[in-house]
């Protein structure tokens, strides 16, 4: 077995909003865990509340990290978060930097999501449309919870308004005031490589005609959703993955912010049906080698 991905500390994968470990037999991190393990990495996918604030999710993650350290004997973990999972990982690292070697944000809304802003404006929680959306999300979350065969812990709390607010520009701005570690000083810049002994990295994608609308995405409904969601973007119009803007994703060392991938392609969804030339598995494998070279 190759040891190219054999990092010093375990890789802990943190899902985004409405995330899961495995729905019956279908994994959130499609093909990614297997690719990393072939390279010798210790990889653990975790579950946190699919619909809640980044802080609540972060506290759940901290409890899970402590359990992983007891089980593996490791001193720290490397956190890799997708979407809201990146904010969740950032919270955990800010609270307990002694337990975290690195945080990697994959398409993370580190300055908020314009899609969340649009929904807040047009589907406010106290409106009929907002309440209907809330019911729909609650039902989806409940069904996914029943189908998640990868999680065996206690029932996780749901707070839809807190979940939504945690992803808006306003909500993330408040979050960033409390937990600024790894953030760039200037819009579109890179953040510090290391803060309080924790290394920070990020990468993200953008919708690109001729690439992200070709290949497997011709058959992937989530790509059509991302193209629809992209119409809500103003500040980063034409520079988003459908849910997160290119520059909003920046954290720490920016490995890349314009890979030809939508918000789901970047974690090899759905069923590995990704756009033309997209190689999400390669990004994760190369990053594990990067972490190994950094000694973490």
Q: With contact defined as beta carbons under 8 Å apart, do 198 and 181 qualify?
A: yes
CATH of 11-293, one of 2.40.100.10, 3.40.50.1820, 3.40.50.2020, 3.30.470.20: 3.40.50.1820
Q: What is residue 1's predicted lDDT score, i.e. its pLDDT?
A: 65
- Cα-Cα-Cα-Cα torsion 193, 279, 20, 103, nearest 10 degrees, comes to -10
Q: What is residue 143's predicted lDDT score, i.e. its pLDDT?
A: 83
Q: What is residue 25's predicted lDDT score, i.e. its pLDDT?
A: 86
Helices 169-178 + 114-122 axis angle, to 10 = 130
Separation CA 35–CA 32 (nearest Å): 5
- Cα-Cα-Cα-Cα torsion 101, 14, 236, 246, nearest 10 degrees, comes to 50
- Every domain of the chain and the residues it spans: 11-293
Q: What is residue 134's predicted lDDT score, i.e. its pLDDT?
A: 83
> What is the DSSP track for 16-68?
-TT--SEETTEESSTTHHHHHHHTT--EEE----SSS-HHHHHHHHHHHHHHH
Q: What is residue 45's predicted lDDT score, i.e. its pLDDT?
A: 97
76 Cβ contact partners less than 8 Å away, ≥ 6 residues apart: 9, 69, 98, 99, 100, 101, 296
Catalytic residues: 83, 241, 263
Whether omega for the bond prior to residue 39 falls within 30 degrees of 0, making it cis, is: no
Q: With contact defined as beta carbons under 8 Å apart, do 84 and 162 qualify?
A: no
- Residue at token pair 């604030």: 53
Q: What is residue 148's predicted lDDT score, i.e. its pLDDT?
A: 84
Pairing relationship of beta strands 100-106 and 77-82 according to DSSP bridges? parallel
Separation CA 117–CA 172 (nearest Å): 11
Separation CA 85–CA 103 (nearest Å): 10
Q: What is residue 47's predicted lDDT score, i.e. its pLDDT?
A: 96
Q: What is residue 93's predicted lDDT score, i.e. its pLDDT?
A: 98
Q: With contact defined as beta carbons under 8 Å apart, do 286 and 234 qualify?
A: no
> What b/e string do you get for 246-256 counting C-beta neighbours within 10 Å, with b at 16 or more?
bbbbbbbbbbe
pLDDT in tens, the chain (296 residues): 689 899 999 999 999 999 999 989 899 999 999 999 999 999 999 999 999 999 999 999 999 999 999 999 999 999 999 999 999 999 999 999 999 999 999 999 999 999 999 999 988 888 888 888 888 888 888 888 888 888 888 889 999 999 999 999 999 999 999 999 999 999 999 999 999 999 999 999 999 999 999 999 999 999 999 999 999 999 999 999 999 999 999 999 999 999 999 999 999 999 999 999 999 999 999 999 999 999 99
Separation CA 166–CA 86 (nearest Å): 12
Separation CA 200–CA 216 (nearest Å): 31
- Residue at token pair 């989530």: 222
User: 198 forms bridges with which residues in the sheet?
Assistant: 195
Ranges assigned E (strand) in 83-232:
100-106, 194-195, 198-205
């Amino acid at each position: 077995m190759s040891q190219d991905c054999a990092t010093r500390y375990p890789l802990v994968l943190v899902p985004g909003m409405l995330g899961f470990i495995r729905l019956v037999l279908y994994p959130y991190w499609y093909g990614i865990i297997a690719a990393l393990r072939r390279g010798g990495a210790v990889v653990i996918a975790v579950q946190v509340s699919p619909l809640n604030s980044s802080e609540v999710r972060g506290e759940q993650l901290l409890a899970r990290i402590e359990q992983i350290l007891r089980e593996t004997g490791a001193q720290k973990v490397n956190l890799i978060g997708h979407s809201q999972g990146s904010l969740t990982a950032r919270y955990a690292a800010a609270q307990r930097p002694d337990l975290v070697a690195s945080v990697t944000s994959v398409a993370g809304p580190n300055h908020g999501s314009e899609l969340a802003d649009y929904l807040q404006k047009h589907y406010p929680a106290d409106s009929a449309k907002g309440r209907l959306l809330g019911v729909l999300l609650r039902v989806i979350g409940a069904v996914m919870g029943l189908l998640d065969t990868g999680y065996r812990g206690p029932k996780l709390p749901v707070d839809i308004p807190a979940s939504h607010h945690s992803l808006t520009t306003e909500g993330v701005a408040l979050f960033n005031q409390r937990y600024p570690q790894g953030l760039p000083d200037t819009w579109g810049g890179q953040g510090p490589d290391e803060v309080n002994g924790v290394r920070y990295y990020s990468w993200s994608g953008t919708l690109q005609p001729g690439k992200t609308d070709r290949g497997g995405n011709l058959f992937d409904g989530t790509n059509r959703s991302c193209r629809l969601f992209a119409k809500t973007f103003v500040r980063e119009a034409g520079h988003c993955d459908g849910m997160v803007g290119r520059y909003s994703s920046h954290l720490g060392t920016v490995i890349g912010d314009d890979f030809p991938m939508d918000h789901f392609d970047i974690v090899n969804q759905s069923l590995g049906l990704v756009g033309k030339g997209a190689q999400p598995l390669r990004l994760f494998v190369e990053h594990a080698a990067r972490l190994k070279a950094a000694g973490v």
